[in-house]
Structure 1
Amino acid sequence: MKLLNVAKDDSHVLTLTKDTFHKTVNDADLMLVEFYAPWCGHCQKLAPEYEKAATELVKEKIQLGKVDCTTENEVCEGLKVMGYPTMKVFRCGKDSPYTGGRQSDEIVRYMRKQSLPALSKLTVEEVIPFSQKDKVVVIGHAPTDDHAVAKVLQTVAEELRDDYMFGITTDRTATGILGIDGPGLVIYKTFDDPHVIYDGKIEADAVKEFVKTQAVPVMADIVPENYMEYANSGKPLTFFFYENEEQKKTIGSQIEKVAREFKGKINFVYCDANKFGAHADTLNLKQEWPALAISEVDKGLKWPFDQTKELTEAAVREFVVKYSQGELPPSLKSAEEPEGNDEAKVVTIVGNSFEKRVMDPTKDVFVEFYAPWCGHCKRLAPTWDQLGEFFADKSNVVIAKMDATENDVPPATPFRIEGFPTLKLFRAKDNVIVDYDGDRTFEDLVQFVKTHAVNNDFVVESAADKKDEDAAQDEAEAETPKSDEVEKAKEAKEVKKEEKKEAPVAAETPAKAADKKTDEPAREEL
């Protein structure tokens, strides 16, 4: 591909518009494009890293481009860009998701892998230089291209090419360099054991599991850039929070011994409490260090280590063994129910009362899962209160709310809260859960309950009628309109008009909370 000039002389990132985008990506053998918005904080943070990567990759004839979705919405809508930043790899116009990190070196490594075949054929002279090209490199030896080792490694490489580099050599003299006697494969790493020989079955699934297990350090510091690698691993994740280097060195070395015993089954990480201590809250830990907890990220389950006990090798081993054998129940975070909750028009749900109040087979329960800091939740609050008022005299329909930052849903519940606000109706009798994803207006919410609730023997129109009757009564009783009431009415109208003008509201994620409140590693959006 012929490299194109960029808008700024000192930039190696190509700015693309609707007039240049399609021709550019169609002509590119390999190209990375970022879709961004100037106001996006993550995009602003990415910009210098992206530029550094572009400067490095241009030497290897790999072009990086960017599209401003606030001005080039036609391009972004055509590619179904749903959030910022979104990065896509293009090969001759065909796009695929970018799944690498956002640091310059991670972008460079990822795109270098993309520029190579999934499995590189190596001469004996190329083995050592190739083994040093990335943090994790897999090299195999097979006597011929159709040998089982070559075929299996090709299959694994095709699947894992985004994450690791793979090479194969048929040169018999390379076995001495690789440290093997015959056909086989070796992993080279820049951490832990730098050279590991595979001694398992030559089967794709077994080799893939071996590579993925060896690619995870026994214990490494967790940061936003590597969090999702751990979160998506499918393995439990043990966090060790340390406050200073002394704790990391002394206590951490003891925990590492346990981590080695469970390698491949449970991942262990260091977590700097000074930077990411707020993440301990999500694991039901107090802000006291050192601390440790096991998390099943995909299920939202957590097992905090008793903070009244000392973190010793023996204590941690016992804790992890009991967890792995299913002897420890997961921790359930719960606030206290407020006084007078039974008489409240909007009932407050807490972790400990969830089963009793939400799963009551005699009642339809419509729950808002919210976060106190969430702007969308704050805007919904008066409407939700109005909904509670409307259903107050209907004992078999309950309007409820749950602060999902202070309470966990029980482990047996078949969902986890992934955004705020989340609205769910728990039907009476069958306890079927119905998600609400419509407009957040009073009328639409009432109609939703009418449509999906079991106890739906009420008239929807009465909501509007009641409002009109109340307004008429207030007007008749008032000698003169009160200025503040007039202003409130005007304000309400303006708010409603503004809401109609807004784009469809996307739920704010717990991950975005981390970005707003602290530099936490546990982010949904990376």
Structure 2
Amino acid sequence: MRFSTISLQASFLALASLAAAEADSDVLNLTSANFESTVSAEPLVLVEFFAPWCGHCKALAPHYEEAATALKDKSIKVAKVDCVEEADLCSSKGIQGYPTLKVYRKGEAAEYTGPRKADGIISYMVKQSLPAVSDVTAEKHDEFTKADKLVVVAYLPSSTAAPAAEFSAAAEAHRDDYLFGIVSNQDAAAAAGVVPPAIVVYRSFDEPRSEYPYPIGGANKKEIEEWLAELAIPVLDEVNGETYSVYAASTKPLAYLFIDPTASDKDAQLAVLRPVAEKYKPKINFVWIDALKYGDHAKALNLPETKWPSFVIQDLQKQLKYPLDQSKEVTTDSLKEIVEQFVAGSLQPQLKSQAVPETQEGPVTILVGKNFEELAFDESKDVFVEFYATWCGHCKRLAPVWDQLGEKYAAIKDKLVIAKIDTPENDLPPSVPFRISGFPTLKFKPAGSKEFIDYEGDRSFESLVSFVEEHAKNSLVLPEVVVEETAQKPLTEETKEAEAAHDEL
């Protein structure tokens, strides 16, 4: 009986602790009973659809709680739905993974595309709560220009004066990215030291204030967007899972300095790169990255040694890598030299490649970085290539079908090559006009050409054969297989008796 009493007490304490934790939380718990009434009544609600067992949800939880508390003071509600308890509700909302975050405006949902850290969530939702362009008064001017990392303010004679329409169009397109305001009060403009018309960007990094450098009257949405995209990227900043998309969206190459962030001379290592970054920022984006956390990324960029700091330039468009030799010391001079060569076009990319196979005896030809041009661009042959990754589940399922395809045409390898390449382990040469972004990717090059055709059909053997037969330029006639017949020996009396006995059985 005593054991039962203690167990009950422990259960009550656990329930009490859970209730207290939920009571202290500023995150609303939504269920099928109150979901629609809550999101329909509010001008703005952020909702997380989660599962208690989800690791990413657990990592998000403290940031979500912190953001909810900060946003409560701004009258922005933050809520969550337990998709284990509310499976039907989550299914009706099209939730397929956890955590999924959605922004609701009077019941209308939009995908949350912001960061997953507290300050990023707060910044994103504050922007969502404001009009695309806010009217900024003299009293609120200083506060507004410091409200985010990048704030854009148009100072105009009136709210409709040019280029107000183009400015508003840019604001609508980028309300998730930047904070936009308009000042039409001349006293407020004078207090800010701005002569209208003008557009000014205020930043919490690098140069804190930049004015639109072109004739303001002819400013259009596209030019404003391009100017902001340039200013949004710092001269030198950390790149991580939260910020990589900003750099990936840029057309510029990306230069990485891999460092140990716990090193006592971290700031000194960054100072070595900064003057080079300042000089070449118009042509290259510069970042530093946590080498301890992203060591595998360093290897993918052809920095094989765990030696920090290390430096590499990546052409994101062509997926080419230009690492600084890791045997060299990372100095301002060595960084300046490699960047100058890259900008001048005289620096050769370093291509990762597995060893060229000594023989190609199997039905599927093995391509690597070093032999890709020679074999894949052979104009005398039709070439069908699978670009795969060893860890890819779809590639593993395709493997026996691809081998079967190779076996079918093995007798005419001099006319048709069925090939494959382990893409993460082999860089494609600069001469290849495409890059691979998903696995498996199948491409076919007809004989007499160097142009590849994308295969977009299903991955059955029959469909692959049909595709080959449709696009191949060389003859696909397979040689006849000659079956040698064994000469028949005359039957002896003993043999006749044995066969007769077999027939009787």
State the distance in 2 between where 1:331 and 1:112 align: 45
State the distance in 1 between where 2:295 and 2:135 align: 46
Q: For the structure 1 residues 61 and 222, does the alpha-carbon distance in structure 2 shift closer, same or farther, using more than 3 Å as the test?
A: same
State the distance in 2 between where 1:114 and 1:448 align: 49
Tell me, yes or no, if structure 1 residue 337 matches structure 2 residue 351.
no
Between 1:412-421 and 1:7-16, the stretch displaced more is 7-16
User: Which residue number corresponds to residue 231 of structure 2?
Assistant: 214
The AA in structure 1 aligned to 2:287 is V
Give secondary structure in 1 for the equivalent of 2:410: coil
Please tell me whether the aligned partners of residues 449 and 456 of structure 1 are also in contact (alpha carbons under 8 angstroms).
no
Please tell me whether the aligned partners of residues 141 and 150 of structure 1 are also in contact (alpha carbons under 8 angstroms).
no
> Alpha-carbon deviation of 1:126?
0.5
State the distance in 2 between where 1:47 and 1:60 align: 20
State the distance in 2 between where 1:259 and 1:140 align: 29
Please tell me whether the aligned partners of residues 412 and 476 of structure 2 are also in contact (alpha carbons under 8 angstroms).
no
Q: For the structure 1 residues 52 and 443, does the alpha-carbon distance in structure 2 shift closer, same or farther, using more than 3 Å as the test?
A: farther
With normalisation by structure 1, the TM-score equals 0.75
User: Which residue number corresponds to residue 312 of structure 1?
Assistant: 331
CA deviations 1:338-374 (Å, max 9, x no partner) are 2212x22221101121122122223332322222233
Please tell me whether the aligned partners of residues 258 and 313 of structure 1 are also in contact (alpha carbons under 8 angstroms).
yes
Please tell me whether the aligned partners of residues 183 and 189 of structure 2 are also in contact (alpha carbons under 8 angstroms).
no
Give secondary structure in 2 for the equivalent of 1:352: coil
> Alpha-carbon deviation of 1:222?
1.3
Please tell me whether the aligned partners of residues 258 and 316 of structure 1 are also in contact (alpha carbons under 8 angstroms).
yes
Q: For the structure 1 residues 24 and 307, does the alpha-carbon distance in structure 2 shift closer, same or farther, using more than 3 Å as the test?
A: same
Q: For the structure 1 residues 86 and 226, does the alpha-carbon distance in structure 2 shift closer, same or farther, using more than 3 Å as the test?
A: same
Q: For the structure 1 residues 166 and 71, does the alpha-carbon distance in structure 2 shift closer, same or farther, using more than 3 Å as the test?
A: same
User: Which residue number corresponds to residue 123 of structure 1?
Assistant: 137
> Alpha-carbon deviation of 1:444?
4.5
Find 1:321's aligned residue among 329, 336, 340: 340
Tell me, yes or no, if structure 1 residue 196 matches structure 2 residue 210.
yes
Find 1:224's aligned residue among 225, 238, 241: 241
Q: CA RMSD in A?
A: 3.3
Map 1:89-108 → 2, pairs under 5 A:
89-108=103-122
Give secondary structure in 2 for the equivalent of 1:163: coil
Q: For the structure 1 residues 82 and 348, does the alpha-carbon distance in structure 2 shift closer, same or farther, using more than 3 Å as the test?
A: farther
CA deviations 1:78-123 (Å, max 9, x no partner) are 8776765444433344444433111122111111101101111111
Map 1:244-393 → 2, pairs under 5 A:
245-246=263-264, 248-287=266-305, 288-341=307-360, 343-393=361-411
State the distance in 2 between where 1:137 and 1:156 align: 13
The AA in structure 2 aligned to 1:268 is F
Between 1:101-110 and 1:242-251, the stretch displaced more is 242-251
User: Which residue number corresponds to residue 399 of structure 1?
Assistant: 418
Please tell me whether the aligned partners of residues 46 and 103 of structure 1 are also in contact (alpha carbons under 8 angstroms).
yes
Give secondary structure in 2 for the equivalent of 1:166: strand
State the distance in 2 between where 1:258 and 1:188 align: 24
User: Which residue number corresponds to residue 181 of structure 2?
Assistant: 167
> Alpha-carbon deviation of 1:125?
0.6
Tell me, yes or no, if structure 1 residue 238 matches structure 2 residue 288.
no
Please tell me whether the aligned partners of residues 180 and 197 of structure 1 are also in contact (alpha carbons under 8 angstroms).
no
User: Which residue number corresponds to residue 428 of structure 1?
Assistant: 447
Q: For the structure 1 residues 186 and 432, does the alpha-carbon distance in structure 2 shift closer, same or farther, using more than 3 Å as the test?
A: closer
State the distance in 2 between where 1:397 and 1:82 align: 42
User: Which residue number corresponds to residue 486 of structure 1?
Assistant: none
Give secondary structure in 1 for the equivalent of 2:426: coil
Please tell me whether the aligned partners of residues 201 and 207 of structure 1 are also in contact (alpha carbons under 8 angstroms).
no
Between 1:73-82 and 1:217-226, the stretch displaced more is 73-82
Q: For the structure 1 residues 314 and 124, does the alpha-carbon distance in structure 2 shift closer, same or farther, using more than 3 Å as the test?
A: same
Map 1:170-185 → 2, pairs under 5 A:
170-185=184-199
Give secondary structure in 2 for the equivalent of 1:285: coil
Find 1:158's aligned residue among 172, 195, 202: 172
Please tell me whether the aligned partners of residues 242 and 289 of structure 1 are also in contact (alpha carbons under 8 angstroms).
yes
The AA in structure 1 aligned to 2:252 is K
> Alpha-carbon deviation of 1:402?
0.9
Between 1:167-176 and 1:107-116, the stretch displaced more is 167-176
Q: For the structure 1 residues 238 and 381, does the alpha-carbon distance in structure 2 shift closer, same or farther, using more than 3 Å as the test?
A: same
State the distance in 2 between where 1:130 and 1:263 align: 28
State the distance in 2 between where 1:450 and 1:28 align: 59
- In structure 1, the gaps of 5 or more residues are 1-6, 463-526
Find 1:63's aligned residue among 70, 77, 84: 77
Give secondary structure in 2 for the equivalent of 1:274: coil
User: Which of the two has higher C-alpha Rg?
Assistant: 2
Map 1:31-46 → 2, pairs under 5 A:
31-34=45-48, 41-46=55-60
CA deviations 1:232-262 (Å, max 9, x no partner) are 1222211011236355333421210111112
Q: For the structure 1 residues 240 and 163, does the alpha-carbon distance in structure 2 shift closer, same or farther, using more than 3 Å as the test?
A: same
> Among the aligned pairs, what percent are the same residue?
47
CA deviations 1:47-75 (Å, max 9, x no partner) are 44334333433443333445677898887
State the distance in 2 between where 1:71 and 1:430 align: 58
User: Which residue number corresponds to residue 29 of structure 1?
Assistant: 43
Tell me, yes or no, if structure 1 residue 147 matches structure 2 residue 161.
yes
Please tell me whether the aligned partners of residues 213 and 263 of structure 1 are also in contact (alpha carbons under 8 angstroms).
no
Count the aligned residue pairs.
453
> Alpha-carbon deviation of 1:135?
1.5
> Alpha-carbon deviation of 1:226?
0.8
Between 1:212-221 and 1:383-392, the stretch displaced more is 383-392
With normalisation by structure 2, the TM-score equals 0.78
The AA in structure 1 aligned to 2:147 is K
> Alpha-carbon deviation of 1:301?
2.4
> Alpha-carbon deviation of 1:22?
6.0
Q: For the structure 1 residues 329 and 81, does the alpha-carbon distance in structure 2 shift closer, same or farther, using more than 3 Å as the test?
A: farther
State the distance in 1 between where 2:359 and 2:53 align: 44
Find 2:438's aligned residue among 419, 423, 426: 419
User: Which residue number corresponds to residue 524 of structure 1?
Assistant: none
The AA in structure 2 aligned to 1:162 is D
**Structure with greater contact order relative to length (CA < 8 Å, sep ≥ 6):** 1
Please tell me whether the aligned partners of residues 273 and 289 of structure 1 are also in contact (alpha carbons under 8 angstroms).
yes
